[in-house]
Amino acid sequence: MNSPNPNRMQNASGNNPVISMERGKLPPQAVDLERVVLGAMLIDKKGVDEVIDILHKEAFYVEAHQHIFEAIYDLFQETKPIDILTVSNLLKQKNKLEKVGGDYYLIDLSRAVGSSAHIEFHARIILQKFVQRSLIKISTEIIEEAYGDNQDVFDLLDQAEARLYEVTQGNLKRSAESAQDLVIQAKKKIEEISNKEGLSGIASGFERLDTVTSGWQPSDLIIIAARPGMGKTALTLSMARNIAVNSGQPVAFFSLEMSSVQLITRLISSETGLSSEKLRTGKLEKHEWEQLNVKVKALEKAPLYIDDTPSLSIFDLRAKARRLASQHDIKLIIIDYLQLMTAGSSQKGGNREQEISTISRNLKALAKELNVPVIALSQLSRAVETRGGSKRPLLSDLRESGAIEQDADIVSFIYRPEYYKIEEWDDEEQSPTEGQAELIIAKHRNGGLDNIRLKFIGSLGKFDNLDRHDSPFEFASKMNDDISQIRPSISDAFSDDDDDMPF
């Protein structure tokens, strides 16, 4: 006869930890608090208002409680009264009343509480238990997948981080949503937009562009492409400055080509009106140092985050972007530029077009996951240079264009005729092209196409609205040039021993 297993022996208190491990642990739960919260929602409308945005159906551990909360939520969405009778009738219509224990159970829930006091606190405990259960589920899946050899380790890391990010955001994804839920969400969004003054998306600071796009929209992938020297970095830096400084909205800028100090120096030039050459050499007059110190204060406070990691992989980018979104609530992501990225080790052996396809697809997925617009800069092929006649870029000029064009919501090109020694625009007015650029919107999934002219200020490395009078930055730059030109004549007019100077 076998001797009893000591690991299965239970002490008087019933707290043997070995037994609990062997027989399995109960998932984290707060059933009593679930009853209290549902009871409070049945008797007090205030209780519903306080927790309806905190909890969701899956947060409840008991299936019956999930059905009851779902009924309360449906009544709330339809602005109908919420009480024992209305919830009971709706559950009856859905053939779920008996599943939850009938009218008796609803009455029992309402009797369990006297008011909705502390309901929010109780609801957050329920949500915490749900997060714990979610972490256990995700961890178990990760462990199972990690034991397998059929998946690339970097893909596994990316998936694991994505799942954990969903939990930290309190936004665990469901497999599908009903048309009814989606229509309600869409109507709510349309209502919010109608009540909102200004644009529905993130304003770029360029008036005509914002009119066409209504601002950069959440979850959109925007491609801005051009040949080298057209001003891709200058344009996106100008946008980043407008959004971070003027609107105070956090922006993440991933620069794979220039260092973060070089980028911020460009922004300082744009902000102060001091030329990049002067800042590069450091040969500033006393008044220019004062101008520098005063003008950069707004830039110092701007929520702009620059990452200059070279040869960044799409895996690293997604990980960094998630952390920035979690820590700083990033509203826009800019990547300079797409062709300098790598797809990671999982793409070894594939050609460059397949790699770009993977990067493009992942950038669109990142935009959807974080629900922010992602702007990616892209190089154009040499076909633009060799083509006779107009040098305006076409969609076919995108390098490794197939996937980029397919994944992008907006594809735009920068065109500066001045760069090609073209002195007049090819329109009826034939106006001069000097100091001007054209942003060509060649694809717009949710809107119209347009050619938008902008002012290009090469000495400051910035773009501005074309129809605006000289901005303070340009004025300051011109003043600096004027002062530097008249200083020698003033010095010649008055020698050091002149005591009769009029000023």
Which residues are catalytic, by number? 257
pTM, two decimal places:
0.63
In a domain, 206, yes or no: yes
> 472-493 and 260-272 helices cross at what angle (nearest 10)?
70
Among 98, 126, 154, the domain boundary falls at 126
Tell me the pLDDT band of 488, cut-offs 50, 70 and 90.
very low
Cα–Cα distance for residue pair 436/415, rounded to 1 Å:
9
* Same domain as 420, residue 307: yes
In a domain, 26, yes or no: no
Helices and strands counted in the chain (H then E): 20, 9
In a domain, 45, yes or no: yes
* Same domain as 227, residue 102: no
Task: Work out the mean pLDDT of the chain and round it to a whole number.
Answer: 78
Which has more pLDDT, 333 or 459? 333
pLDDT of residue 170: 59
In a domain, 135, yes or no: no
Which has more pLDDT, 144 or 18? 144
* Same domain as 411, residue 264: yes
Which has more pLDDT, 361 or 186? 361
Name the pairing type of β-strands 410-415 and 436-444: antiparallel
pLDDT digits (tens, 9 = 90+) for 437-478: 889 898 898 888 888 888 888 878 888 888 644 444 444 444
Answer for the pair 335, 252: CB distance below 8 angstroms, yes or no.
no
pLDDT of residue 86: 92
In a domain, 24, yes or no: no
| Residue 41 CB coordination number (10 Å) | 31
In a domain, 189, yes or no: no
- CATH code, domain carrying 44: 1.10.860.10
* Same domain as 220, residue 119: no
Answer for the pair 476, 246: CB distance below 8 angstroms, yes or no.
no
* Same domain as 316, residue 444: yes
- CATH code, domain carrying 247: 3.40.50.300
**The most confident of 132-141, 149-158, 160-169, 421-430, by mean pLDDT:** 132-141
Cα–Cα distance for residue pair 342/448, rounded to 1 Å:
32
Q: What is the average pLDDT across 484-493?
A: 42
Among 68, 94, 126, the domain boundary falls at 126
Q: What is the average pLDDT across 254-283?
A: 81
In a domain, 121, yes or no: yes
In a domain, 500, yes or no: no
- In the chain, the number of structural domains is 2
Tell me the pLDDT band of 222, cut-offs 50, 70 and 90.
very high
Give, rounded to a whole angstrom, the gap between the first and last alpha carbons of the chain: 116
Closest by CA position to 392, among listed 366, 357, 365, 420 = 420
Domain that residue 278 falls in: 200-484
pLDDT of residue 198: 66
Please say if the pLDDT value at position 216 is more than 80: yes
Please say if the pLDDT value at position 362 is more than 50: yes
Please say if the pLDDT value at position 34 is more than 60: yes
DSSP 373-418: -EEEEEEB-THHHH-SS-----GGGBTTHHHHHHH-SEEEEEE-GG
Answer for the pair 372, 409: CB distance below 8 angstroms, yes or no.
no
